[in-house]
Chains A and B, each alone.
Chain A
């Protein structure tokens, strides 16, 4: 589509797809960062 998005539907489709990937990354990153943050606590 000439590199353009013409409908709200397509726009949401692409942005939500990326958002879901961000979500997956977040679910992995949270525990990892929590461990980093607290692993020196006694």
Chain B
């Protein structure tokens, strides 16, 4: 990645920029194909597999990994852990970009994207969990936008407006946590309606709880993971407070993540017990389930714990990547791998390369947007005019 080019501009043709440019180019072409040729032109979706990568990754993973926003702001403003204050702004920015991109990605996936507001303005389907997800995501995107505005307002020098928004912090944070609880869990609840299609090891009436708790893990891990990337690339943008607090954030979040992962593991066990699914463990699916449970839940849990006992920042940072991958794996398992498990392999789904291209395209837009904001606005540092204004 471009360590030094983030601020100076310098040459435009860094390896990072070239790869990003290529992805954007391909993504642009596929976008044209999608909106001129329909879903069939660019996806492997079928009547048996109506949801593919764009739901499994762009929606489920995207929303889970954007959980850092509510987790961090709740820790700081509600639980009063002021020492995490410098982590709030980057987390809110990531969350805002994440949700904006989720909504953007949905425009590719649904058949008639211009009708996306229909559930709210034409005819609400109130029995649908998807309605709940849609309503919360729309509201939360608004909340995140307002929560994020102090940065551009400070950048632009609009003090009055900025101070009004800052006064709303507590209300916005509480709204954010309520809405996040609802839609993070409802994403899992989407699958509760299909017990016959999702493998019993992943299906559970606790799915909403699993998705909510694992979103906390995802949020904590993403803050740590993203922090380490930012340290590599935007070190020059960080002020003293941020640098001073950064290690504390890593240690605190690592410890919290270890604890939540432990609880998550236990409720997954409870799920096995209440549905009496033990015998499935002895199958191929069981092996895969154990890989997820041991390799991507218990292992990161242990590594986080060791890291926080030894005050080993490096270990915690590395573990955060493992934990994030674990969340991705879990969402993929629920939405694609273990979904339609009963179908013969010829009828199973594997994403078309153009679907993957669009997902990469969207992630790239996110990274570029993050870089754009971080290099310009007071995200990783405090604006000198508002030093002690919290």
Contact = CB atoms under 8 A, between A and B. Distances in A.
Answer whether A and B touch in the complex at a CB cut-off of 8 Å.
yes
Interface of A: 9, 12-13, 16-17, 19-20, 27, 31
Interface in B147-194: 171, 175, 178
Contacts of B126: 12-13, 16-17, 19-20
A13 B135 CA distance: 16
A18 B126 CA distance: 9
A16 B175 contact: no
B124 A12 contact: no
A38 B255 CA distance: 35
Interface string B131-146: 0000100000000000
Contacts of A17: 124, 126
B128 to A, nearest CB: 9
A13 B171 contact: no
Interface in B107-136: 124-127, 135
A13 B127 contact: yes
Contact of B124 (A9, A20, A27): A20
A31 B170 CA distance: 10
B127 A16 contact: yes
Interface of B: 124-127, 135, 171, 175, 178
Given A13-B125, A13-B126, 13 more contacts: A9-B127, A12-B126, A12-B127, A13-B127, A16-B127, A17-B124, A17-B126, A19-B126, A20-B124, A20-B135, A27-B175, A27-B178, A31-B171
Contacts of B178: 27
Contacts of B175: 27
Contacts of A19: 126
A12 B178 CA distance: 23
A9 B126 CA distance: 10
Which 9 pairs across A and B sit closest by C-beta, in order of nearness? A16-B126, A17-B126, A12-B127, A13-B127, A31-B171, A16-B127, A13-B126, A20-B126, A9-B127
A32 to B, nearest CB: 11
Contacts of B125: 13
Nearest to A9: B127
17 contacts: A9-B127, A12-B126, A12-B127, A13-B125, A13-B126, A13-B127, A16-B126, A16-B127, A17-B124, A17-B126, A19-B126, A20-B124, A20-B126, A20-B135, A27-B175, A27-B178, A31-B171
B256 to A, nearest CB: 27
A20 B345 CA distance: 41
A10 to B, nearest CB: 9
A20 B175 CA distance: 16
B172 to A, nearest CB: 10
A12, A16, A19: residue with the most chain B Cβ atoms closer than 10 Å: A16
A21 to B, nearest CB: 10
B183 to A, nearest CB: 13
B125, B126, B175: residue with the most chain A Cβ atoms closer than 10 Å: B126
